[in-house]
Structure 1
Amino acid sequence: MKNRARFVDVEGRPAIRFEREYPYPQERLWSAVTDPAELSRWFPAAVDIELREGGTITFADEPGAEPTKGTILACESRGSLSYTWEGDELGFTLNPTPQGCLFVFVNVLGDRETAAMVAAGWTVCLDEFDALPAGEPPSQETDSEAWRPVYELLHRRRIPGGCSRAGTRRGDLMSESEKGTGPKLLSGGNPQIPKGMGREPVEAYIVAMPEWKHDIGRRLDELILEEVPGVHNAVKWNQPLYGTADDSWFLTFRCFTNYVQLSFFRGSSLDPLPEKGPKHPEMRYHDIRRLEDLDEDKVRKWVRQAAELPGEKM
């Protein structure tokens, strides 16, 4: 079973961690992470490895390029392997289980701000790794941009990733509204989106949210979809709506100059009570000024409660 990349702390240093369970013995996965021929199937560089603590590992990133060298930090046969690669440290741990083996991979980062980019790259590589012990042929995927949608998802999940790092420019991830090619931004930076039903207008609204507001909007949308599978969507009055039916809405959000405001149509019935209101007797509001300030547990609780309450018809 796969898990998504997690941003973790390793002895005070930033790191990306993956865990995957495989129905294969420990020895099979050990070969996949140590044999240069097998590494060539999934690892992002050609590798020559001296399997002993203190040994040398050589990486050839591109044909004709000067190889780089790392040092083997730990090597326990079939169980664990770690080494340096430029400013990072890579560690593999293989733990036998009754069903096969638990594969744990940790990339300790030399630069915290590369986290989303590094995690996206490893996600693509590990998808290739999955096929190796199964005896499946190499992927025919040749898209050099395969990491990009993974990067954007991880970045929205608040895994750090400066847009100017590792070849990704800020302009690549700017909203269409910021580039001047998309919907008009109204007062407070709120996108002007035509009224419509379903996911498409909601996606258009989120894509058009400017700068940091886009990250907040995307994460709010993800939380709502996770908590209320099958939620109904629409855009009306230039704001996305979420409901249990096409005429029964329980929340919305919109952009203001200094915050994104999350609004619950029956917010006065929520526990804890959202802090702002009321403009309408039953509505309550929660302002989010930075993605880092988003209390996901609280928002999830509100969303679950709100979806159980009678919706607003409009």
Structure 2
Amino acid sequence: MDADAIERVVVLRHPVERVWAALTTAEGLSRWFGSVAEIDLRPGGRAFFRWDDLGQESVATVAVVDPPRRFAFRWAIEGLPEDDAARTLVEFTLEPVPEGTRLRLVESGFAQAAADVGRSARAANSQGWDAELAELEIYLDATG
């Protein structure tokens, strides 16, 4: 397993356009990715996420917007000061498949942090993405 990255692939029973909207709109994101989301959907734009149940917030910078195929943002590495320059890149790639949409998530850049911090952040985010991707599937299935 790559110590620098997390990778998940899921097949969602929904068209690419629906999955894209869930990933890139404040309305979609706030239904599965945290409690509140704001997003300025352009490279260099700001994204904000808050998880009320965890008492956590995160600010990200949009890196790639290539509708409806690729969306990426950079955000802080957990355990480092918020003003630290090190950021991970979270990249979503969507591909239409007969069953719906294949979503590939890769979060990379943990190796920028000291080994113990990077390992801890990667482990926390790995669990987080498992939970969040399950929430994404539940949200999409519940809304049709």
Shorter-chain TM-score category? 0.7 to 0.9
List gaps (5 residues or longer) in structure 2.
78-87, 111-117
- Give secondary structure in 1 for the equivalent of 2:140: coil
**What is the match of residue 124 of structure 1?**
131
Deviation at 1:129, TM superposition (A): 1.0
Aligned to 1:100: 100
Per the TM alignment, residue 59 of structure 1 is displaced from its structure 2 partner at its CA by: 2.6
Instruction: Give CA deviations for 1:115-156 in whole Å, capped at 9, x if unaligned.
Output: 22221122112111111221269xxxxxxxxxxxxxxxxxxx
Larger radius of gyration: 1
Alpha-carbon offset, residue 18 of structure 1: 0.5
Query: Offset of 1:67 from its aligned partner?
Result: 5.6
> What is the DSSP-based 3-state SS (H/G/I as helix, E as strand, rest coil) of the residue aligned with 2:43?
coil
Q: CA deviation at 1:38?
A: 2.0
Report the secondary structure of 1:78's partner residue: coil
Amino acid of the residue matched to residue 93 of structure 2?
T
- 1:72 aligned residue: 62
**Which digits, 9 at most, give the CA deviation of each residue in 1:54-90, with x for residues without a partner?**
2111233449x89643211111011111111213221
The 5 A counterparts of 1:154-303 are none
In structure 1, what is the Cα distance between the partners aligned to 2:36 and 2:75?
13
Tell me the equivalent position of 1:55: 45
CA distance in 2, matches of 1:109, 1:49: 22
What root-mean-square deviation, in Å, do the aligned CA atoms of Structure 1 and Structure 2 show? Answer: 2.5
TM-score, normalised to structure 2, is 0.74
Residues 5-54 of structure 1: per-residue CA shift (max 9 Å, x gap): xx436xxxx11111011222100100111122221222135221111112
Change (3 A) 1:136 1:57: closer
Aligned partner of residue 59 in structure 2, secondary structure: strand
**2:2 is equivalent to residue 8 of structure 1:** yes
In 1: Cα distance, 2:31 partner to 2:133 partner: 10
Amino acid at match of 1:51: L
The structure whose residues are more often strand, as a share, is 2
Structure 1 stretch 17-26 or stretch 107-116: which is displaced more?
Answer: 107-116
Q: Which amino acid aligns with 2:46?
A: T
Provide the rounded CA distance (Å) in 1 between the counterparts of 2:65 and 2:72. Answer: 7
* Partner residue, 1:44: 34
Contact conserved, 1:16 with 1:109, CA < 8 A, in 2?
no
Paired amino acid for 1:95: E
Aligned to 2:114: none
Corresponding pairs, count: 126
Residue among 118, 121, 133 paired with 1:114: 121
Tell me the equivalent position of 1:303: none
**Distance change >3 Å, CA 55–CA 124, structure 1 → 2:** same
Q: Which has the higher contact order (CA 8 A, sep 6+)?
A: 2
Percent of residue pairs identical: 27
Partner SS state of residue 21, structure 1: strand
Distance 1:112 1:75 in 2: 29
In structure 2, the residue matched to 1:26 is: 16
Q: Is the 8 A contact 1:109 1:115 kept in 2?
A: no
Structure 1: 5+ residue stretches without partners: 1-6, 138-314
